[in-house]
Amino acid sequence: MKREKAHAKINLYLHITGRRDDGYHLLDSLAIFAASGDELTASAAPLHKSHPDDVTLEIDGPFADGLADCDDNLILRAARSVKRVRTSGLASGLLLTLTKNLPVASGIGGGSADAAAALRIMAAHWEVDEAQIPALARELGADVPVCLKQRPARMRGIGEDLSAVPAMPPFHLLLVNPGIAVSTPAIFTSWKADHGRFRQEVELPPAWPDLDALISFLNRTTNDLQDPARANYPVIDQVLTLTASLPGCRMARMSGSGATCFGIFAAAEEAAQAARQCRAKGWWAEAGPALT
Ligand SMILES: C[C@@](CO)(OP(=O)(O)O)[C@H](O)COP(=O)(O)OP(=O)(O)OC[C@H]1O[C@@H](n2ccc(N)nc2=O)[C@H](O)[C@@H]1O
Ligand SMILES: Nc1ncnc2c1ncn2[C@@H]1O[C@H](COP(=O)(O)OP(=O)(O)O)[C@@H](O)[C@H]1O
Protein backbone atom coordinates (compact mmCIF):
# COMPACT_ATOMS: atom_id res chain seq x y z
CA MET A 1 0.00 0.00 0.00
CA LYS A 2 1.31 3.44 -0.92
CA ARG A 3 0.17 6.60 0.85
CA GLU A 4 0.65 10.19 -0.35
CA LYS A 5 -0.37 13.38 1.42
CA ALA A 6 -1.82 16.09 -0.82
CA HIS A 7 -1.06 19.25 1.14
CA ALA A 8 -3.08 22.47 0.93
CA LYS A 9 -1.39 25.14 -1.20
CA ILE A 10 -1.40 28.69 0.17
CA ASN A 11 -0.74 31.75 -2.00
CA LEU A 12 1.03 34.10 0.44
CA TYR A 13 0.72 36.80 -2.21
CA LEU A 14 -0.82 36.70 -5.68
CA HIS A 15 -0.29 39.49 -8.21
CA ILE A 16 -1.84 39.46 -11.66
CA THR A 17 0.81 40.66 -14.09
CA GLY A 18 -0.82 40.09 -17.50
CA ARG A 19 -3.23 38.07 -19.55
CA ARG A 20 -2.60 35.58 -22.35
CA ASP A 21 -4.54 35.50 -25.60
CA ASP A 22 -6.37 32.36 -24.40
CA GLY A 23 -7.73 34.28 -21.39
CA TYR A 24 -5.46 32.75 -18.73
CA HIS A 25 -3.86 35.29 -16.41
CA LEU A 26 -0.15 35.68 -15.82
CA LEU A 27 0.66 35.55 -12.15
CA ASP A 28 3.45 36.31 -9.72
CA SER A 29 2.70 34.33 -6.57
CA LEU A 30 4.54 32.94 -3.57
CA ALA A 31 3.10 29.49 -2.81
CA ILE A 32 3.74 27.45 0.28
CA PHE A 33 2.14 24.32 1.70
CA ALA A 34 0.31 23.69 4.96
CA ALA A 35 0.42 20.57 7.09
CA SER A 36 -3.31 20.08 6.38
CA GLY A 37 -4.18 18.03 3.35
CA ASP A 38 -6.04 15.23 1.64
CA GLU A 39 -4.71 11.67 1.67
CA LEU A 40 -4.43 9.35 -1.26
CA THR A 41 -3.75 5.67 -0.72
CA ALA A 42 -3.14 3.16 -3.45
CA SER A 43 -3.12 -0.61 -3.57
CA ALA A 44 -2.68 -2.98 -6.48
CA ALA A 45 -5.97 -4.34 -7.84
CA PRO A 46 -6.83 -6.94 -10.45
CA LEU A 47 -7.08 -5.52 -13.95
CA HIS A 48 -10.63 -5.07 -15.21
CA LYS A 49 -10.87 -5.15 -18.98
CA SER A 50 -14.06 -3.13 -18.72
CA HIS A 51 -12.41 -0.26 -16.81
CA PRO A 52 -10.88 2.22 -19.21
CA ASP A 53 -8.50 3.88 -16.77
CA ASP A 54 -7.17 0.76 -14.98
CA VAL A 55 -7.85 2.81 -11.87
CA THR A 56 -10.75 2.66 -9.47
CA LEU A 57 -11.33 5.66 -7.20
CA GLU A 58 -13.16 5.61 -3.90
CA ILE A 59 -13.69 8.79 -1.88
CA ASP A 60 -14.26 9.18 1.84
CA GLY A 61 -13.51 11.85 4.45
CA PRO A 62 -15.32 14.97 5.69
CA PHE A 63 -15.57 16.68 2.26
CA ALA A 64 -16.36 13.59 0.14
CA ASP A 65 -19.88 14.97 -0.42
CA GLY A 66 -18.37 18.05 -2.06
CA LEU A 67 -17.27 15.83 -4.93
CA ALA A 68 -20.55 13.96 -5.34
CA ASP A 69 -21.48 16.05 -8.41
CA CYS A 70 -17.97 15.99 -9.90
CA ASP A 71 -18.12 13.56 -12.81
CA ASP A 72 -14.46 13.80 -13.77
CA ASN A 73 -12.23 13.78 -10.72
CA LEU A 74 -8.78 15.24 -11.35
CA ILE A 75 -7.32 11.98 -10.05
CA LEU A 76 -8.97 10.04 -12.88
CA ARG A 77 -7.87 12.68 -15.38
CA ALA A 78 -4.31 12.21 -14.05
CA ALA A 79 -4.69 8.45 -14.54
CA ARG A 80 -5.71 8.93 -18.16
CA SER A 81 -2.70 11.21 -18.75
CA VAL A 82 -0.32 8.64 -17.33
CA LYS A 83 -1.91 5.91 -19.43
CA ARG A 84 -0.96 7.89 -22.56
CA VAL A 85 2.74 7.86 -21.71
CA ARG A 86 3.19 4.45 -20.07
CA THR A 87 5.97 2.51 -21.72
CA SER A 88 4.80 -1.01 -20.86
CA GLY A 89 1.71 -3.08 -20.30
CA LEU A 90 0.30 -3.35 -16.83
CA ALA A 91 0.98 -6.01 -14.25
CA SER A 92 -1.91 -4.71 -12.15
CA GLY A 93 -4.43 -1.93 -11.85
CA LEU A 94 -4.78 0.44 -8.91
CA LEU A 95 -7.42 0.97 -6.27
CA LEU A 96 -7.10 4.56 -5.08
CA THR A 97 -8.82 5.88 -1.98
CA LEU A 98 -9.04 9.65 -1.56
CA THR A 99 -9.71 10.92 1.95
CA LYS A 100 -11.05 14.39 1.21
CA ASN A 101 -10.10 16.53 4.20
CA LEU A 102 -9.90 19.86 2.37
CA PRO A 103 -12.95 21.89 1.35
CA VAL A 104 -13.65 21.72 -2.40
CA ALA A 105 -13.27 24.80 -4.65
CA SER A 106 -11.68 26.78 -1.85
CA GLY A 107 -8.50 28.47 -3.12
CA ILE A 108 -6.08 26.02 -1.53
CA GLY A 109 -5.65 23.76 -4.55
CA GLY A 110 -7.02 20.56 -3.07
CA GLY A 111 -7.94 19.10 -6.45
CA SER A 112 -4.55 20.08 -7.87
CA ALA A 113 -2.76 18.54 -4.89
CA ASP A 114 -4.78 15.34 -5.37
CA ALA A 115 -3.88 15.23 -9.08
CA ALA A 116 -0.20 15.75 -8.27
CA ALA A 117 -0.30 13.02 -5.61
CA ALA A 118 -1.93 10.69 -8.15
CA LEU A 119 0.82 11.46 -10.66
CA ARG A 120 3.50 10.67 -8.05
CA ILE A 121 1.84 7.38 -7.13
CA MET A 122 1.14 6.26 -10.68
CA ALA A 123 4.61 7.16 -11.94
CA ALA A 124 6.05 4.95 -9.22
CA HIS A 125 3.59 2.09 -9.75
CA TRP A 126 3.77 1.92 -13.52
CA GLU A 127 6.70 2.34 -15.87
CA VAL A 128 6.71 6.03 -16.68
CA ASP A 129 9.61 8.25 -17.64
CA GLU A 130 9.79 10.68 -14.68
CA ALA A 131 10.81 13.45 -17.07
CA GLN A 132 7.30 13.38 -18.58
CA ILE A 133 5.51 14.08 -15.32
CA PRO A 134 5.89 17.91 -15.22
CA ALA A 135 4.31 18.19 -18.70
CA LEU A 136 1.38 16.01 -17.60
CA ALA A 137 0.98 18.20 -14.52
CA ARG A 138 0.82 21.36 -16.66
CA GLU A 139 -1.95 19.86 -18.80
CA LEU A 140 -4.04 19.03 -15.72
CA GLY A 141 -4.20 22.57 -14.34
CA ALA A 142 -2.27 25.73 -13.57
CA ASP A 143 -1.79 24.77 -9.91
CA VAL A 144 -0.75 21.15 -10.45
CA PRO A 145 2.99 21.73 -11.22
CA VAL A 146 3.67 23.47 -7.88
CA CYS A 147 1.85 20.65 -6.07
CA LEU A 148 4.21 18.00 -7.45
CA LYS A 149 7.00 18.92 -5.02
CA GLN A 150 4.92 20.65 -2.32
CA ARG A 151 7.78 22.99 -1.46
CA PRO A 152 7.75 26.80 -1.23
CA ALA A 153 8.02 28.22 -4.73
CA ARG A 154 7.47 31.34 -6.72
CA MET A 155 4.88 30.76 -9.44
CA ARG A 156 4.97 32.77 -12.62
CA GLY A 157 3.54 32.33 -16.11
CA ILE A 158 0.05 30.96 -15.46
CA GLY A 159 1.54 29.02 -12.54
CA GLU A 160 3.83 26.58 -14.34
CA ASP A 161 6.99 28.70 -14.29
CA LEU A 162 8.40 27.73 -10.89
CA SER A 163 11.50 29.06 -9.13
CA ALA A 164 13.10 28.62 -5.74
CA VAL A 165 12.48 31.22 -3.05
CA PRO A 166 14.67 32.50 -0.19
CA ALA A 167 14.70 30.37 2.95
CA MET A 168 11.76 31.12 5.22
CA PRO A 169 11.57 31.22 8.99
CA PRO A 170 9.29 28.65 10.64
CA PHE A 171 5.71 29.75 11.38
CA HIS A 172 2.22 28.37 11.90
CA LEU A 173 -0.76 28.70 9.62
CA LEU A 174 -4.42 28.96 10.46
CA LEU A 175 -6.71 28.03 7.53
CA VAL A 176 -10.35 29.14 7.67
CA ASN A 177 -13.15 28.46 5.19
CA PRO A 178 -16.70 29.70 5.80
CA GLY A 179 -18.30 26.85 3.87
CA ILE A 180 -18.77 28.35 0.41
CA ALA A 181 -17.46 26.91 -2.84
CA VAL A 182 -15.93 29.57 -5.09
CA SER A 183 -15.44 29.24 -8.85
CA THR A 184 -11.89 30.22 -9.87
CA PRO A 185 -12.81 31.42 -13.39
CA ALA A 186 -15.67 33.53 -12.00
CA ILE A 187 -13.31 35.36 -9.64
CA PHE A 188 -10.77 36.04 -12.40
CA THR A 189 -13.67 37.42 -14.49
CA SER A 190 -14.83 39.64 -11.61
CA TRP A 191 -11.30 40.96 -11.26
CA LYS A 192 -11.30 41.95 -14.93
CA ALA A 193 -14.78 43.49 -14.74
CA ASP A 194 -13.57 45.52 -11.78
CA HIS A 195 -10.96 47.11 -14.11
CA GLY A 196 -8.10 45.23 -12.47
CA ARG A 197 -4.75 46.66 -13.51
CA PHE A 198 -1.72 44.51 -14.18
CA ARG A 199 1.05 44.71 -11.61
CA GLN A 200 4.80 44.56 -11.89
CA GLU A 201 6.53 41.46 -10.58
CA VAL A 202 7.60 41.65 -6.95
CA GLU A 203 11.27 41.91 -6.03
CA LEU A 204 12.13 39.15 -3.55
CA PRO A 205 14.78 39.89 -0.91
CA PRO A 206 17.88 37.66 -0.69
CA ALA A 207 16.57 36.22 2.59
CA TRP A 208 13.83 36.49 5.21
CA PRO A 209 15.91 36.18 8.36
CA ASP A 210 12.93 36.05 10.71
CA LEU A 211 9.13 36.22 10.81
CA ASP A 212 9.14 40.03 11.20
CA ALA A 213 11.04 40.30 7.92
CA LEU A 214 8.63 37.96 6.14
CA ILE A 215 5.56 39.80 7.46
CA SER A 216 6.89 43.22 6.52
CA PHE A 217 7.65 41.88 3.02
CA LEU A 218 4.15 40.37 2.69
CA ASN A 219 2.58 43.64 3.86
CA ARG A 220 3.99 45.24 0.70
CA THR A 221 2.18 42.63 -1.42
CA THR A 222 -1.45 41.62 -1.87
CA ASN A 223 -3.79 39.02 -3.29
CA ASP A 224 -5.36 40.68 -6.32
CA LEU A 225 -8.24 38.18 -6.23
CA GLN A 226 -9.20 39.04 -2.65
CA ASP A 227 -11.27 42.15 -3.42
CA PRO A 228 -13.36 40.55 -6.19
CA ALA A 229 -13.94 37.52 -3.96
CA ARG A 230 -14.98 39.72 -1.00
CA ALA A 231 -17.35 41.65 -3.25
CA ASN A 232 -19.04 38.41 -4.33
CA TYR A 233 -18.99 36.76 -0.90
CA PRO A 234 -19.16 39.25 2.01
CA VAL A 235 -18.63 36.42 4.53
CA ILE A 236 -14.96 36.48 3.49
CA ASP A 237 -14.72 39.92 5.18
CA GLN A 238 -16.03 38.38 8.39
CA VAL A 239 -13.42 35.62 8.17
CA LEU A 240 -10.59 38.09 7.55
CA THR A 241 -11.72 40.45 10.31
CA LEU A 242 -12.04 37.70 12.90
CA THR A 243 -8.78 36.01 11.89
CA ALA A 244 -6.81 39.27 12.05
CA SER A 245 -8.21 40.00 15.52
CA LEU A 246 -7.25 36.68 17.11
CA PRO A 247 -4.37 36.70 19.64
CA GLY A 248 -1.02 36.09 17.97
CA CYS A 249 -2.19 36.59 14.38
CA ARG A 250 0.51 38.48 12.50
CA MET A 251 -1.39 38.83 9.24
CA ALA A 252 -4.59 37.57 7.59
CA ARG A 253 -5.22 37.21 3.86
CA MET A 254 -7.21 35.12 1.39
CA SER A 255 -5.50 32.33 -0.57
CA GLY A 256 -5.90 31.91 -4.35
CA SER A 257 -9.40 32.66 -5.60
CA GLY A 258 -10.85 31.95 -2.13
CA ALA A 259 -12.76 31.55 -0.05
CA THR A 260 -10.17 30.02 2.32
CA CYS A 261 -8.26 32.64 4.29
CA PHE A 262 -5.05 32.12 6.22
CA GLY A 263 -3.56 33.63 9.35
CA ILE A 264 0.15 33.62 10.13
CA PHE A 265 1.18 32.89 13.72
CA ALA A 266 4.54 32.52 15.47
CA ALA A 267 3.22 30.15 18.15
CA ALA A 268 1.55 26.79 17.58
CA GLU A 269 -0.73 27.11 20.62
CA GLU A 270 -2.08 30.51 19.54
CA ALA A 271 -2.81 29.15 16.04
CA ALA A 272 -4.59 26.13 17.57
CA GLN A 273 -6.66 28.36 19.87
CA ALA A 274 -7.56 30.58 16.89
CA ALA A 275 -8.76 27.50 14.98
CA ARG A 276 -11.02 26.57 17.90
CA GLN A 277 -12.54 30.09 17.89
CA CYS A 278 -13.20 29.92 14.14
CA ARG A 279 -14.78 26.47 14.44
CA ALA A 280 -17.08 27.93 17.11
CA LYS A 281 -18.49 30.16 14.32
CA GLY A 282 -19.38 27.02 12.35
CA TRP A 283 -16.50 27.46 9.91
CA TRP A 284 -13.92 24.87 8.84
CA ALA A 285 -10.61 25.74 10.46
CA GLU A 286 -7.29 23.96 10.91
CA ALA A 287 -3.96 25.02 12.34
CA GLY A 288 -0.51 23.56 11.83
CA PRO A 289 3.05 24.33 10.80
CA ALA A 290 3.78 25.86 7.42
CA LEU A 291 5.94 23.45 5.43
CA THR A 292 8.78 25.94 5.01
C1 LIG B 1 -6.00 31.00 -8.58
C2 LIG B 1 -5.03 29.89 -8.28
C3 LIG B 1 -3.72 30.50 -7.71
O4 LIG B 1 -2.80 29.50 -7.32
O5 LIG B 1 -5.47 28.99 -7.26
P6 LIG B 1 -6.89 28.40 -6.75
O7 LIG B 1 -7.79 29.51 -6.36
O8 LIG B 1 -7.45 27.59 -7.86
O9 LIG B 1 -6.52 27.51 -5.57
C10 LIG B 1 -4.65 29.10 -9.56
O11 LIG B 1 -4.05 29.97 -10.50
C12 LIG B 1 -5.78 28.39 -10.26
O13 LIG B 1 -5.25 27.18 -10.74
P14 LIG B 1 -6.21 25.97 -11.20
O15 LIG B 1 -7.38 25.89 -10.29
O16 LIG B 1 -5.35 24.78 -11.39
O17 LIG B 1 -6.71 26.56 -12.58
P18 LIG B 1 -7.11 25.83 -13.94
O19 LIG B 1 -7.95 24.65 -13.62
O20 LIG B 1 -5.90 25.67 -14.80
O21 LIG B 1 -8.01 26.97 -14.58
C22 LIG B 1 -9.33 27.22 -14.19
C23 LIG B 1 -9.74 28.57 -14.77
O24 LIG B 1 -9.16 29.63 -13.96
C25 LIG B 1 -8.74 30.71 -14.76
N26 LIG B 1 -7.29 30.89 -14.60
C27 LIG B 1 -6.54 29.96 -13.95
C28 LIG B 1 -5.19 30.16 -13.77
C29 LIG B 1 -4.61 31.34 -14.29
N30 LIG B 1 -3.30 31.59 -14.15
N31 LIG B 1 -5.37 32.25 -14.95
C32 LIG B 1 -6.70 32.04 -15.09
O33 LIG B 1 -7.38 32.89 -15.67
C34 LIG B 1 -9.15 30.35 -16.19
O35 LIG B 1 -10.41 30.91 -16.40
C36 LIG B 1 -9.24 28.84 -16.17
O37 LIG B 1 -10.15 28.36 -17.14
N1 LIG C 1 -10.00 15.58 -6.30
C2 LIG C 1 -10.63 16.76 -6.38
N3 LIG C 1 -10.70 17.57 -5.31
C4 LIG C 1 -11.30 18.79 -5.40
N5 LIG C 1 -11.89 19.26 -6.50
C6 LIG C 1 -11.87 18.49 -7.60
C7 LIG C 1 -11.24 17.21 -7.58
N8 LIG C 1 -11.37 16.70 -8.80
C9 LIG C 1 -12.03 17.60 -9.54
N10 LIG C 1 -12.34 18.68 -8.83
C11 LIG C 1 -13.04 19.89 -9.34
O12 LIG C 1 -12.07 20.96 -9.35
C13 LIG C 1 -12.64 22.19 -8.92
C14 LIG C 1 -11.58 22.99 -8.16
O15 LIG C 1 -11.37 22.38 -6.91
P16 LIG C 1 -10.20 22.71 -5.85
O17 LIG C 1 -8.89 22.28 -6.37
O18 LIG C 1 -10.65 22.12 -4.55
O19 LIG C 1 -10.31 24.28 -5.71
P20 LIG C 1 -9.38 25.53 -6.00
O21 LIG C 1 -9.04 25.45 -7.47
O22 LIG C 1 -10.23 26.73 -5.66
O23 LIG C 1 -8.21 25.45 -5.13
C24 LIG C 1 -13.87 21.81 -8.08
O25 LIG C 1 -14.94 22.63 -8.45
C26 LIG C 1 -14.16 20.34 -8.40
O27 LIG C 1 -15.38 20.17 -9.07
Q: Please, are residues 175 and 256 in contact by the beta-carbon 8 Å criterion?
A: no
281 is catalytic: no
CB 96 within 8 A of CB 77: no
Residue 195 has pLDDT above 90, yes or no: no
Q: What is the C-alpha to C-alpha distance for residues 255 and 83, in angstroms, rounded to an integer?
A: 33
Ligand nearest to the CA of 75: 2
Count of helices and strands (H, E) across the chain: 9, 10
Cβ distance 177 to 8 under 8 Å?
no
Q: Which domains does the chain have, with CATH numbers?
A: 2-162 (3.30.230.10), 166-289 (3.30.70.890)
Average pLDDT, integer, range 155-177: 98
Ligand 1 centre distance from Cα of residue 120 (Å): 21
Mean pLDDT of 264-278: 98
pLDDT at 210: 98
Determine which residue's CA is closest to atom 3 belonging to ligand 1: 256
User: What was the pLDDT predicted at 52?
Assistant: 55
Q: What is the mean pLDDT of the chain?
A: 94
Q: What is the mean pLDDT of residues 95-115?
A: 97
Grade residue 141 by pLDDT with cuts at 50, 70 and 90: very high
DSSP conformation class of 151: S
Nearest bound ligand to CA 144?
A: 1
φ/ψ (deg, to 5) at 187:
-75, -40
Binding residues for ATP: 103-113
91 pLDDT more than 90: no
pLDDT digits (tens, 9 = 90+) for 209-242: 999 999 999 999 999 999 999 999 999 999 999 9
The predicted pLDDT at position 128 comes to 86
Contact 181, 228 (CB under 8 A): no
* Cα–Cα distance measured from residue 56 to residue 36, given in angstroms and rounded to the nearest whole number: 25
C-alpha 115/C-alpha 120 separation (Å) is 9
Pick the catalytic residue from 5, 9, 71, 210.
9
Amino acid (1-letter code) at residue 237: D
The span from the CA of 207 to the CA of 204, in Å, is 8
Q: Please give the C-alpha separations between residue 135 and each of 8, 81, 82, 153, 167, in angstroms, as whole numbers.
A: 21, 10, 11, 18, 27
d(CA 54, CA 65): 24
Half-sphere exposure of 102 (CA within 13 A, CB side): 30
**pLDDT tops 90 at residue 75:** yes
Euclidean distance between CA atoms 122 and 1, whole angstroms? 12
113 CA → ligand 2 middle, Å? 9
pLDDT digits (tens, 9 = 90+) for 79-89: 999 988 887 66
Q: Determine whether 72 is an active site residue.
A: no
* Residue 51: per-residue pLDDT: 62
Average pLDDT (37-56) is 81
What's the average model confidence in pLDDT over 21-43? 97
Cα(57)–Cα(276) distance, integer angstroms: 33
pLDDT of 50 strictly over 60: no
| In contact, 13 and 62? CB cutoff 8 Å | no
